[in-house]
Structure 1
Amino acid sequence: MPGPSDTWLITGVAGFIGSHLLETLLRAGRHVVGLDNFSTGKKENLSDVEARVGAERWARFRLIEGDLRSPNACEAAVRGVDVVLHQAALSSVPRSLVHPVQVLEANTIGSVNLFSSAAQAGVSRVVYASSSSVYGDVSTALRREPVLGEPMSPYAVSKRAMEQLAAVTHRNTCIALTGLRYFNVFGPRQNPDGPYAAVIPRWIRALLDAECPVIYGNGTQSRDFTHVDNIVRANLLAAARPAGSCGVFNVGTGHGTSLNALFETLRTHVAALPGRAKASEVRALAAPPRAGDVASALADLDLARQELGYEPVVNLDEGLRQTVSHFAGVRGTRNFLEARR
């Protein structure tokens, strides 16, 4: 990781992944600038980080409220910055099918504005969040970086375009740009609410309330569920790559888990919590497959191991335990506060 005197920019700093990167960098003594328009990020995430790191570390953080689609906001954000961790995006395959223009504008125009501004400002390294969705309809479950199929959603198109824009920027400026293809990230602070919530927080919330979650399809489709600590680790390793480098790497665990198996594990963990035994009786509801979803996806980590030195630091079971405990604590705090009103 670059030295302690460096200043880092995190876009989407109030989001799920961005807030975890912020906490890690502040704990390491770094100075951090954050950019967020709060379209999906939450100020509660920043408050949580502030409470966890303390006032002295928090004083090293500066927030800019702005939108990547504004060149002026990008120019202000990269000024005096050494490393950029670009996490801001409108995510979710289903969201992109309903709002394709918004997703494409945010993820492509926003990214090219940021890349251009970073290059002009002399930023040494940019690490950006891509997605396993770029693999599209590849026929095999194992995803290897060079093998791409046809995109299955506007979100996938936006992330593939981001990778291409990064490659073009690198060829014309020699700025170091490293893309990380995230595989089904989960963990504390992930949003469990709304129509585009990811499966793990959504299912945990349902199980905590002894409600039946929905499995789209027959549940045999598998995913490489990846705890957010692994994502943080990969970003720090990518930020330490030599100047002038460029590339794209998978970030996952290298292990696939079916949706049916995921549900069983989550139900067991929730039912083991005090007062949540009823969760063991909850059954999942079946629904037709969703448009744009792939059958199965598993990260091949060979390239990330060779080029980044990446290895997962949190396995699925431990990550799910931590995440269930987090959401149970949040739910308990909310119930306590509501009872006192």
Structure 2
Amino acid sequence: MGYQNIKFPAGSKFLVTGAAGFIGSNLVEAILNLGYQVRGLDNFSTGKKENVEQFLNHPNYEFLEGNICNLETCIRSCESIDYVLHQAAWGSVPRSIEMPLVYEEINIKGTLNMMEAARQNGVKKFVYASSSSVYGDEPNLPKLEGREGNLLSPYALTKKVDEEYGKLFTKLYGLDTYGLRYFNVFGRRQDPNGAYAAVIPKYIKQLLNDESPTINGDGMQSRDFTYIENVIEANLKACKATSEAAGQAFNIAFGGREFLIDIYSHLLKALGKNIQPTFGPDRKGDIKHSNADISKAKEMLGYEPEWSFERGIEEAIEWYKKNLGVKTSAGI
């Protein structure tokens, strides 16, 4: 169970792209804690410098500032690397609808650059972030690999194209690729700020500051919220997977289903607040319900998520209470 007892050959070296981001920085921390070497790559377009700086004095950590849209940077970053954990991407469905060309450049071309760089450097395993958004308008629950609908956003399209390239790179070039379809990941270091912030950190910050959060739609949309520890486990277990599993995509979630309005009520109770939310319009490109069948990841990757939503949200709330500056009544 979990990932703390996963063993890799002595001297193993990992590359984490998007190392300054939410998921990337948590992967860096976990791998360093396991005793292996890590190289991080990021250009800070969405990541935070403090997520890199906290590890810079670690003897097993090396950081490269660079852009995955530059092939030479990608090739250099993959030199002497055994395992690539490719997290660098631009997220957010609404933002992708506003900026489809940027998403094409970063999420597709950048990922293709990284796969090619990994191939040229003889990397053992290439694990990359996909997304539950690839299921599009397919109405059935739980979501099952191989049963996808029409895509609803440029973001979803970029992740689907990444999966197709992953399949091809395994088939044509023998690069073991593993696509991880993340379902609404949350946890420590997830950014609560900005128009495109994820709902859990955004709501927590607003409630801590006695502000009224906006719930898009009626609050009856449901999600398979997945704590960061489960995602770390999935990445590391994919690095240990057999070549039989290569070239495929896997649902990475806890396998639960939470309604947004219930999460809001849970946060109110946990934070001791009594604040009515504001209800806004549905977000264009969003799917209404999401819940994962994780049996394929369990069978082929040995994935056994330990962190339920309830356990994860308790730890996340405590982290944000410690790390967010909360306004006083004077607004200071």
In 2, Cα distance between the equivalents of 1:258 and 1:136? 19
Query: 1:252 maps to what in 2?
Result: 253
Q: 1:141 to 1:214 in 2, by over 3 A?
A: farther
Instruction: Tell me, yes or no, if the aligned pair for 2:208 and 2:326 is still in contact at 8 Å.
Output: no
Cα distance in 2, alignment partners of residues 265 and 109 from structure 1: 40
Shift, 1:47, TM fit: 3.1
Higher helix share: 1
CA RMSD after TM alignment: 1.6
Return 5+ residue gaps in structure 1 as ranges: 272-278
State the Cα distance separating 1:269 from its structure 2 match: 1.3
Question: Does the 8 Å CA contact 1:74/1:113 hold for their aligned counterparts?
Answer: yes
Report the equivalent of 1:219.
Answer: 219
Report the alpha carbon displacement of residue 2 of structure 1 after superposing the two structures with TM: 2.6
CA contact (8 A) 1:19 1:49 kept: no
Matched, 1:309 2:310: no
Q: Measure the CA separation in 2 of the matches of 1:332 and 1:18.
A: 23
Does structure 1 residue 41 correspond to structure 2 residue 47? yes
Letter in 1 for 2:301: L
* Aligned match of 1:10: 16
2:212 and 2:275 in contact (8 A); partners too: yes
| Structure 1 residues 262 and 246, CA gap change in structure 2 (3 angstroms) | same
CA distance in 2, matches of 1:17, 1:301: 20
> Counterpart in 1 of 2:186?
186
Tell me the alpha carbon deviations over residues 149-175 of structure 1, each in whole angstroms, 9 at most, x when there is no partner.
Answer: 011000000000000011111111111
Query: What residue ranges of structure 2 are gaps of 5+ in the alignment?
Result: 1-6
Distance 2:301 2:172 in 1: 24
Q: State whether residues 134 and 151 of structure 1, in contact with CA within 8 Å, keep that contact through their aligned partners in structure 2.
A: yes
Contact 2:253–2:294 (8 Å) recurs in 1: yes
Structure 2 SS opposite 1:229: helix
Query: Following the alignment from structure 1 to structure 2, what is the Cα–Cα distance between the partners of residues 129 and 175?
Result: 16
Contact in 2 for aligned 1:4/1:29 (Cα 8 Å): no
Shift, 1:317, TM fit: 1.2
Contact 1:93 1:155 in 2 (8 A): yes
Equivalent runs, 1:274-285 vs 2, <5 Å: 279=273, 281-285=274-278
How far does the alpha carbon of each residue in 1:8-57 deviate from its partner, in whole angstroms, 9 at most, with x for none? 0000011000000000000111011111010011111123456xxxx5xx
What residue is the counterpart of 2:76 in the other structure?
Answer: 76
Distance, in Å, in 2 between the alignment partners of 1:292 and 1:333 is 32
Looking at structure 1, the residues matched to 224 and 314 of structure 2 have their Cα atoms a distance apart, in angstroms, of 17
- What letter matches 1:253 in structure 2? F
Aligned to 1:142, the other structure's residue is in SS state coil
**Partner letter of residue 109 of structure 1?**
K
The answer to whether the 8 Å contact 2:225/2:309 transfers is yes
1:205 aligns with 205
Q: How does 1:251-330 map to 2 (within 5 A)?
A: 251-271=252-272, 279=273, 281-330=274-323
**Distance in structure 1 (CA, Å) of the matches to 2:275 and 2:10:** 49
Q: Quick one: which of 16, 20, 41 aligns to 2:26?
A: 20
Instruction: Work out the CA distance in 2 between the residues paired with 1:199 and 1:136.
Output: 20
Q: Does the 8 Å contact 1:175/1:243 carry over to 2? A: no
Please give the alpha-carbon distance, in whole angstroms, between the structure 2 residues aligned to 1:4 and 1:22.
17
Q: What residue number does 2:152 align with? A: 152
Which residue is 1:239 aligned to? 239
Residues 124 and 243 in structure 1, CA contact (< 8 A), matched pair in contact too: no
Partner secondary structure for residue 249 of structure 2: strand
Q: Distance in 2 between matches of 1:167 and 1:229?
A: 26
Shift of residue 189, structure 1, vs aligned partner: 0.3
Distance 1:263 1:4 in 2: 45
Equivalent in the alignment of 2:3: none
Residues in 1 aligned to 2:100 and 2:309: alpha-carbon distance in whole angstroms = 32
CA-CA distance at 1:333 after TM superposition: 8.5
8 A contact 2:169–2:247 mirrored in 1: no
Cα distance in 1, alignment partners of residues 139 and 311 from structure 2: 30
**Aligned partners of 2:10 and 2:259: how far apart in 1?**
41
Do the aligned residues in 1 keep the contact of 2:209 with 2:327 (CA within 8 Å)? no
1:334 deviates by: 9.2
Structure 2 contact 107–159 (Cα < 8 Å) conserved: yes
Deviation at 1:266, TM superposition (A): 1.1
